[in-house]
Structure 1
Amino acid sequence: MKKIISMVLAGLMAFGITGCSNKNVKDTSKSETKVEDSNKKSSHYPVTITTYDYAKKPVEVTFEKSPEKVIAVYQNSIETLLALGLEDKIIATAGLDHEVKDEYKDAFSKLKYYEKLPTKEEVIGLQPDFILSWYSLFDEKRFGDVGFWHERSINTYMSQNSGVISPNTLQNEYDDILNMGKVFDVEDKANKIVSTMKDEIEKAKDFVKGKEAVRAVILEVQKDGVYRIYGEDSIGGDIAKKVGADLVAKSNGKIGNEDLVKLNPDVIFTVYYGKEIERDSALKSIMENPALSSVSAINSKRVNPIMLSEVYSSGIRTLDGIKTISKGLYPELYGNK
């Protein structure tokens, strides 16, 4: 009898030890999984990027996590975030020159939009954690310098081609988009957008290999007979150079009718501000100017309107600018469409 009892007890003890052992292994596995999941979620952050203050000095800002309450001001800021699928992060917008691109209209319609730029006090009341905009927004008459916001744990970012850096370049636009990809942990989307722009440049470059460079000028009609030149230091100029054009007016500045006649470009790009009436006016000011009747581009009707947002702080519309300029220079590349 004692022998039987001893065997039963031994069996129970063995079962108990085995049960405890299995339970501990299971709990450890859960614990390790939780740690791995936590590391996976936080592995992207912190992220540090370089932006600028109003004195145009570099400032490093660090993001411990993806911003959740974003204020986006001006066309490129708003559209870049929408293109990256970040509409749920935006609490307020302002400063559009014209309607957002068609593919973003539905998402934009759900956002709060200020017809007039919100005051500094209104912005403070919104309690944002990130402000994305142009250099000009951070002067003392608007939102104030970036230090004011950084002291309140509100990060900022200035579009590099909005007056911060000279020259304006395509690379700056690429970097702005890629930086937003890093900030919001959507780098795959940002890389895809930039790759598409670069592919469009390469398509035009391949097309013109071995061909004579087209003489071109990019300008804005400021008043009758006075033109503002978008030279090599502008986004438009950088695009034109990269796709093989000969920019006959290379420096930013102003010229008159006589200068334009002497330059005699084969192609003219005339900048307008986004409305149809302004587009028509920009064309007529060139095409119907009798002082320019001898210019090659006018005689061959190669005067192309180009929207300001395609050649200044262009953001997502950089691709449109590349296509507009490439098509104007090489219409046969696009099947004359």
Structure 2
Amino acid sequence: MRRTIERRNQVNRKEKMRLTLGVLLSLSVCAGSADVYAEKTTDDDENTRESSQTYVTRDVEVEGEAARDYFGNEITEQSYYRTGGDVTVIDRKTLDRRHYDQLTDALRQVPDVLIRTPGYRGGEFQNGNTHSVVSINGDDRVVVLVDGRRMDNAAGNVTTWDSVGNTKATVDINQIININGIEKIEVIAGLSAALASRSSEIVDLEPQEAAPSGTAAGYPRVIDTYDSAKRPTRITLQRPPTRVLVHQTNTLETLLALGQGDRIVGVTLDTGGAVYERLREQYPDEIEKIRHAARRELSREHAIAYMPDFFLGWRSTFSPHRYGSTRWWNERGVDTYIVSTSNRVRGRATIEGECGFIDDMGRVFDVQEKSDVLIKEINAMLVYDEGDAAARIPQTVVVVELNGDEIVNYDEGDLVGDMVVRLGGRMPVKSAMIGAEDLLQIDPDVIFVLYFGAYDKAHAERFFRSRRFNFLRAVRGGRVYMLPFACVYTPAVRTVEGLRIIKSGLYPDG
């Protein structure tokens, strides 16, 4: 309710500003008439000798300071998304004056916009859409947004015949929102209009909220982090970020666990994959608040178009081939945060580093009570497990990842290694790679195999069923365990899950 009232107040202020500007122009012209001069002329025709007066006014220029975004660009109705294409704006006054009954009635008045309604028999002609859909300049790759939230895929809560696998505007445009509830319609045609997909056209049914200004209670806050060169740095926040761009799934899940889904303007997340289904099941309310989830990796151009005020990711996020350096973003007014346990920023990843990240996010978004709960769960498991492990004989542990037939080794410098050691395991292998013969010679008590998805998991299970590993102690004892990569690499809120899997593997009898 509060956000709705604030949006209405912003709309009212904008209308007043436009009205005031109109008055100023009228007043300026009237002021110029004080310098009007008259010239009386006489017609040569004696039958029509009449006086005529000619009034000449001076040109009047009215200048004002233009509003600018985070990147120094002037903000106008047509440059809101800062695209290179044509922008058509239909405001509330126009909708009321022309008495449109439906959205399609208004969109049909926009040049190069085509509304198609195949009807019930459309399916007979291999056209699955039986409702009104939009194409612009003959291109049906149209993104439909309501208040910045995408509505033409599964994340938009709109059921279409192929909403998961199709990026086209298969949503029924008339069923999204009643036309009486729309403040403004923006139709943007151009390459840069694709905020989150390969689409080249966009229809936005309401502008984004303006970011709040000023310093919030309890702020400013100074947060320690790193830059893209792994140098320690600090960011100073005047208030919790409101337009957050998130890269990598575990960083996203941390914000969802802290109840910050409504602050996320963009994230790369396959809405048709298993990860999305798990997040939707675990955080149903928060994931629906995300303004947009892109199924493909966002380009830097798309990331800029979101106009974020906070960018959260790994060190690799801010590499030249992805989104550029942290300095590049900072110079444009965007605060950046790099998870310290990613890409070995600190040299060695630890459980304390994960807890530090969770604590930082609690401070950034002013939800320390929630972050404290998550940290206590991790610490409680460690205290219990360390006491339990002290009474047991240390076991030899190897943690590997399979890259084809190559065996990649993880050691104590990795977070998973820190977990194993803290739980009482011993990791003798220090090299980055390990051969099959070396593995046979070490003959570990326990083997944990990291995997990314179902295919990797199945491949790992087949790999260790090979005859050459039949004599391994871990294979004979049935102690080769599959371990999700996401639970041991910058896991944040999933740290507890990773510890639980490792503990059950080390101590299967409890």
Per the shorter chain, which TM-score range?
0.7 to 0.9
Contact kept, 8 Å, 2:254 with 2:493, in 1: the verdict is yes
Partner of 2:222: 48
- Indicate the residue corresponding to 1:153 in structure 2: 333
Where does residue 487 of structure 2 map in the other structure?
Answer: 310
Spell out the pairing of 1:30-179 with structure 2 (5 A cutoff).
42-94=216-268, 98-99=275-276, 100-101=278-279, 102-111=281-290, 112-163=292-343, 164-179=345-360
Contact 1:73 1:95 in 2 (8 A): no
Give the residue type in structure 2 aligned to 1:232.
E
Q: Which amino acid in the other structure matches residue 484 of structure 2?
A: M
Separation (CA, whole Å) in 2 of partners of 1:148 and 1:255: 39
Q: Is the 8 A contact 2:400 2:407 kept in 1?
A: yes
Displacement of 1:218 after TM fit?
0.7
Query: How big is each residue's C-alpha offset from its partner over 1:255-281, in whole Å with a ceiling of 9 and x where there is no partner?
Result: 0111101111111100000x2232222
Following the alignment from structure 1 to structure 2, what is the Cα–Cα distance between the partners of residues 301 and 264?
13
Aligned residue for 1:320, secondary structure, equals helix
1:322 Cα shift?
0.6
Give the secondary structure class of the aligned counterpart of 2:222: strand
Q: Is the 8 A contact 2:358 2:492 kept in 1?
A: yes
Which residue is equivalent to 1:279?
A: 457
Distance 1:237 1:198 in 2: 17
1:253, distance to aligned residue in structure 2 (A): 0.4
> Is residue 322 of structure 1 aligned with residue 461 of structure 2?
no
Q: CA deviation at 1:214?
A: 1.8
Residue in structure 2 matched with residue 216 of structure 1 by the alignment? 397
Residues 3-24 of structure 1: per-residue CA shift (max 9 Å, x gap): xxxxxxxxxxxxxxxxxxxxxx
Q: What amino acid is aligned across from residue 144 of structure 1 in structure 2?
A: G
Following the alignment from structure 1 to structure 2, what is the Cα–Cα distance between the partners of residues 327 and 165? 29
Q: Which has the higher helix share?
A: 1
Q: Is the 8 A contact 2:262 2:289 kept in 1?
A: no
- The Cα of 1:110 is off from its aligned counterpart by 4.2
| Structure-1-length-normalised TM-score | 0.82
What displacement does 1:50 show?
1.6
CA deviation digits over 1:81-129, x for unaligned, max 9? 0010111111111156933443124522442111122222222221111
- Which residue pairs with 2:381 in the alignment? 200
**Residue identity opposite 1:128 in structure 2:** P
1:32 paired residue number: none
Question: Which one of 286, 299, 306 corresponds to residue 476 of structure 2?
Answer: 299
Asked which structure has the greater CA Rg, the reply is: 2
Root mean square deviation, CA, Å:
1.7
Kindly report structure 1 stretches of 4+ aligned residues shifted beyond 3 Å: 95-102
User: What pairs up with 1:2-13 in 2 under 5 angstroms?
Assistant: none
Instruction: State, as a whole percentage, how many aligned pairs show the same letter.
Output: 30
Residue aligning to 2:62: none
Structure 2 gaps of 5+ residues are: 1-214
**Cα contact 1:66–1:185 (8 A) shared by 2:** yes
Whole-angstrom distance in 1 between the partners of 2:403 and 2:297: 26
For 1:3, the equivalent position in structure 2 comes to none
Q: How many residue pairs were aligned? A: 289
The offset of 1:42, in angstroms, is 4.1
Helix, strand or coil at the partner of 1:305:
strand
Partner of 1:248: 428
Distance apart, 1:175 and its partner CA: 0.7
CA distance in 1, matches of 2:297, 2:330: 20
Alignment partners' CA distance in 2, 1:113 and 1:94: 6
In structure 1, what is the equivalent of residue 162 of structure 2? none
* 2:260/2:286 contact within 8 Å kept: no
Q: 1:174 Cα deviation (Å)? A: 0.9
TM value normalised by structure 2: 0.55
Counterpart residue type for residue 85 of structure 1: G
Q: Which amino acid aligns with 1:276?
A: A
Q: Deviations over 1:24-57 (max 9, x none)?
A: xxxxxxxxxxxxxxxxx94421111122222111
**CA distance in 1: counterparts of 2:269 and 2:261, whole angstroms:** 17
Partner in structure 1 of residue 98 of structure 2: none
Conservation of the 8 A alpha-carbon contact between 1:283 and 1:304: no
Show the counterpart of 2:448.
269
